[in-house]
A and B are shown apart, each in its own frame.
Chain A
Amino acid sequence: MTGYRQGMHELLAPILFVVNSDKIRIDSAESTNDPLAFIFDANFVEHDAFALFSRLMRSTKSWFDSSANTLPGGHNARVRNKASSVSAPQQNIPIVVLCNHIQNNIIQVLDPTLCSHLKHLNIEPQLYGLRWIRLLFGREFPFEELLCLWDGLFAHDSSLSLVQWICAAMLLLIREEIIQADYITVLQKLMRYPSLSTLKVKTVTGLLDKAKNLQREYEERVTISSQEQHSRESSAASEMSNQKKSSRTGSSKSVAEISNFLVHGEDSKKTAAQSDNADNLAVLQQRKISELKARDRTLAKKVDRCISQLADILSDAQTLNERRNEIEGIVDELKVVQTELVFSSGTSMSMTDGNESESPVMVSRPKMSAKAAASNLHEYSNDTILQRNANGSSILATGASGLDSWISTLSTAAQDVDLSKTVKAASSLFSGLFEERIGTSTFAPFVPADQQQRRHSAAVKAISGIEANTSAAGVAATSSPIKSTPSTLADVSTTIKSNVRSRPESVSSSIKSTASSAPTSFSSASTTIRSARYPPDHWRNNLPLQPQIQTQPQPASSDDSSTVGSVVSNPNKEVFVVVADGGFKDPLS
């Protein structure tokens, strides 16, 4: 498909409207220095709108694609035999695939009665879904509401994965009105969608919330049903004995279809023959999973290497300035990692370790949207497998978002003459962000539940020393009295805390469940254990000021914004350790 298709202009219009509304005219010399005026420069409204529109089309383009053929000239349609041309060709059209997925998979899982009603009426989902999705609901809601809806949609992720859940929410919101209605009435409701103010959600915000809730609900059900499938089929069923076996909606067939859809995206083939052929699907899924695992390992190695390099650079305070280029190189590398992480967290739950490779639970992983899963982890606290999935995603998500601030910190640091402190602070943050990830993909400590407490106390003890070392390193490196760049430090510290605090729920619930279901879920626990790490030996050896620093009181937990490499305790008494180092040493070993 190339060129303009009807409806694209309705995606451009709101963008142009907003950019145009925000424009600032540069009419005086002083305003040329105003960064806002620069960003919203009235001279570039068209350019900015085009750039934004292009970006949007990257995600929506396939939905405008109605096959390789476009009218006029579709003579080849004649050649095909009638039976296959009526039903089969639709399978390859992305928008049709998505519409079918929403009505026949998502709604089937969330509300089987509604799904079968629509099926019974012979209402094909693209009748209403095509316009909903192509125009991103532009004709379904008033313009003001649309802008708000797009805010939520774009904020969720750039692949617009929330679209299908908004569709599902819209269907379920008018469920009561269509469940008893006849064909015409149902179509009228769907194609002239009622005002949100008349519905339960009342507002766009309510609709967005509903959409996100549905996504979680769906994932929960699908994951559980895929576990059930596994426990029925797997010879290793005994190992799964702690998992829930309560019956839930969602047949194994629909799960297979869904995962097929996910793995193959637009190319999903949903003929009956293929969805019955679960073996083929399983092979494809396994292959996909292997790919994801390989990618994760590569990422983890990259991150590990970055840590080592940073530690190396930091080990010699004298050469810090000269090695600024190297730091910039690391920044660049991390940006790549970040990009991959964002992709990873958007498309898959791909945190894996060796133990998980046999588990078909993985099948449902790509389905899970990382952010949503992470933020709502507590809802799944009784199910350890779900725990593990969600933990993986939370790591990806926080890892990716944390990297953002980290990269900017590092970039600042690389340009800062007195950069040692900043770099150290950033590297601390960095190390904290990724220790889980590395622990899971590469090291995966195997720790019995009863050792967790010991581990944590060991971590707490280790902290004092490490903190001293870290601070001392900072002092040593600056070589001038500590007139530390307070604003930078405060920033970093805030970042550390916010990163740490964004996770406590997942950790506490995970540990809770681990304790109750040991010993089957060690690997789950391992992802949440924060192991304290020692800095490399040569660090400590190069720290002349260490004794003085150690005489200072060492807080076990700290809200002091000037503390770098801090220990932050959360209300659930878990201790999070955020320190820098270049290697991995188990405090217990």
Chain B
Amino acid sequence: MIGDSGTGKSSLLLRFTDDAWLQPEEVAATIGVDFKVKIIDVDNKKYKLTIWDTAGQERFRTLTSSYYRGAQGVIMVYDVTQRDSFAHLETWFNELDTYTTNPLVVKMLVGNKIDKDGSNDSSRQVSRKEGEAFAKRMGTLFVESSAKSRSGVIDAFVEVIAETPELYQKTAAHAARAANTVNLDQQNNQSGESGGSCC
């Protein structure tokens, strides 16, 4: 999971893995990187996900190369009430292009904090349409979500999973040629479960 700091990456992850929500004053900024493991059923198949949650302030290069190299899916998060976090997505795409060696990585764009829409203190600065258009242009999946209200959270993760095995199947030959870029088995596979790595 990547995106500017304060967009709610850790909150999305916490909602997804633990179905929990922390009040703003209970939340601590992610330092460096955090990770969680979640086992989930999609279409009667068990997937074990290793999900990496990066600090928005952290540069990729401070973190690991193996971390990005092994990634099968990337969830890019912006805050629909913060225009800047949307504007910076291009930078995040550049970073991603630079540091991932997997050309088949599944990208998911998530506009978070839609629960704030219409509330008094902050309102939406990025419309759903805008988000969709950008996702289309960049060739990524798109979901709007609220970690607070649960809306869209599971969708975001499940869609990445749903896209992933199909991609790998279709292009197995290609993947085999790019031997060191796709590490399905290396870190994630446990007996009887399909692995998935996502950040």
- Interfacial chain A residues near B29, Cβ < 8 Å: 6-7
* CA of A96 to CA of B65, assembled, Å: 12
* CA of A325 to CA of B44, assembled, Å: 88
B65 touches A74 (CB 8 A): no
A93 touches B33 (CB 8 A): no
B88 touches A188 (CB 8 A): no
Q: Tell me the smallest distance from the CB of A439 to a CB of chain B, in Å.
A: 48
B31 touches A77 (CB 8 A): no
* CA of A134 to CA of B57, assembled, Å: 14
B61 touches A93 (CB 8 A): yes
8 A Cβ contacts from A1-25 to B: 5-7, 10
- Interfacial chain A residues near B34, Cβ < 8 Å: 191
- Interfacial chain B residues near A95, Cβ < 8 Å: 62
Q: Mark A61-80, 1 if CB is under 8 A from B, else 0.
A: 00000110111111101101
B117 at the interface (CB under 8 A from A): no
A126 touches B64 (CB 8 A): yes
A87 at the interface (CB under 8 A from B): yes
Q: Tell me the smallest distance from the CB of B19 to a CB of chain A, in Å.
A: 19
B37 at the interface (CB under 8 A from A): yes
Q: Choose among B30, B58, B61 the residue with the greatest number of A CB atoms under 10 Å from its CB.
A: B61
* CA of A10 to CA of B32, assembled, Å: 14
Complex partner residue of A71 from B4, B65, B101, CB under 8 angstroms:
B4
Q: Tell me the smallest distance from the CB of A543 to a CB of chain B, in Å.
A: 67
- Interfacial chain A residues near B69, Cβ < 8 Å: 86
* CA of A235 to CA of B47, assembled, Å: 63
Q: Mark B1-40, 1 if CB is under 8 A from A, else 0.
A: 0001100000000000000000000001111111101000
B33 touches A74 (CB 8 A): no
B187 touches A74 (CB 8 A): no
A184 touches B50 (CB 8 A): yes
Q: Mark A29-61, 1 if CB is under 8 A from B, else 0.
A: 000000000000000000000000000000000
- Interfacial chain B residues near A183, Cβ < 8 Å: 186-187
Instruction: Report if A71-B88 is in contact (Cβ < 8 Å); known contacts: A126-B62, A131-B32.
Output: yes
* CA of A187 to CA of B34, assembled, Å: 10
A122 touches B66 (CB 8 A): yes
B187 touches A86 (CB 8 A): no
B31 touches A130 (CB 8 A): yes
Measured as residues with beta carbon below 8 angstroms from the partner, the interface class of chain B is: 35 or more
B35 touches A126 (CB 8 A): no
B31 touches A74 (CB 8 A): no
B171 at the interface (CB under 8 A from A): no
* CA of A183 to CA of B58, assembled, Å: 23
- Interfacial chain A residues near B130, Cβ < 8 Å: none
8 A Cβ contacts from B47-64 to A: 50, 55-64
A89 at the interface (CB under 8 A from B): yes
Q: Mark A545-568, 1 if CB is under 8 A from B, else 0.
A: 000000000000000000000000
* CA of A126 to CA of B187, assembled, Å: 18
A82 touches B101 (CB 8 A): yes
Complex partner residue of B98 from A71, A82, A124, A191, CB under 8 angstroms:
A82
Q: Tell me the smallest distance from the CB of A109 to a CB of chain B, in Å.
A: 23
Q: Mark A357-389, 1 if CB is under 8 A from B, else 0.
A: 000000000000000000000000000000000
A85 at the interface (CB under 8 A from B): yes
Instruction: Report if A124-B59 is in contact (Cβ < 8 Å); known contacts: A6-B5, A183-B187.
Output: no
B127 at the interface (CB under 8 A from A): no
B94 touches A77 (CB 8 A): yes
Q: Tell me the smallest distance from the CB of A525 to a CB of chain B, in Å.
A: 50
Q: Tell me the smallest distance from the CB of B172 to a CB of chain A, in Å.
A: 23
Complex partner residue of B61 from A67, A78, A82, A187, CB under 8 angstroms:
A67
- Interfacial chain B residues near A188, Cβ < 8 Å: 37
A85 touches B59 (CB 8 A): no
Complex partner residue of A80 from B55, B65, B98, B101, CB under 8 angstroms:
B98
B58 touches A77 (CB 8 A): no
- Interfacial chain B residues near A127, Cβ < 8 Å: 32-33, 63-64, 67
8 A Cβ contacts from B63-96 to A: 63-67, 69, 87-88, 91, 94-95
8 A Cβ contacts from B96-146 to A: 97-99, 101
8 A Cβ contacts from B143-179 to A: none
* CA of A80 to CA of B186, assembled, Å: 28
B95 touches A74 (CB 8 A): yes
A135 at the interface (CB under 8 A from B): yes
A191 touches B35 (CB 8 A): yes
A126 touches B37 (CB 8 A): no
A90 at the interface (CB under 8 A from B): yes
Complex partner residue of B59 from A74, A87, A139, A191, CB under 8 angstroms:
A74
Residue in A closest to B91 when the chains form the complex, CB atoms? A72
* CA of A565 to CA of B31, assembled, Å: 56
Instruction: Report if A69-B98 is in contact (Cβ < 8 Å); known contacts: A124-B64, A130-B32.
Output: no
* CA of A184 to CA of B38, assembled, Å: 11
Q: Tell me the smallest distance from the CB of A89 to a CB of chain B, in Å.
A: 5
A71 touches B31 (CB 8 A): no
B62 touches A130 (CB 8 A): yes
Q: Tell me the smallest distance from the CB of A129 to a CB of chain B, in Å.
A: 8
B32 touches A126 (CB 8 A): yes
Complex partner residue of B65 from A87, A93, A191, CB under 8 angstroms:
A87
* CA of A72 to CA of B186, assembled, Å: 32
Complex partner residue of A86 from B37, B50, B99, CB under 8 angstroms:
B99
Using a CB–CB distance below 8 Å, which chain A residues touch chain B? Answer: 5-7, 10, 66-67, 69-75, 77-78, 80, 82, 85-87, 89-90, 93, 95-96, 122, 124, 126-127, 130-131, 134-135, 139, 183-184, 187-188, 191
Q: Which 4 A-B pairs have the closest CB atoms?
A: A130-B32, A124-B64, A6-B29, A66-B62
Given contacts A90-B62, A131-B31, A134-B32, 19 further A-B contacts (CB under 8 A): A6-B31, A6-B57, A7-B29, A7-B31, A10-B28, A66-B57, A66-B61, A71-B59, A71-B95, A74-B91, A74-B94, A75-B91, A82-B101, A85-B99, A86-B65, A96-B62, A126-B63, A127-B33, A127-B67
* 19 pairs from A and B in contact (CB 8 Å cutoff): A5-B57, A6-B31, A7-B29, A10-B31, A69-B59, A72-B4, A78-B94, A87-B65, A89-B61, A90-B61, A124-B67, A126-B64, A127-B64, A131-B31, A139-B31, A184-B187, A187-B35, A188-B37, A191-B34
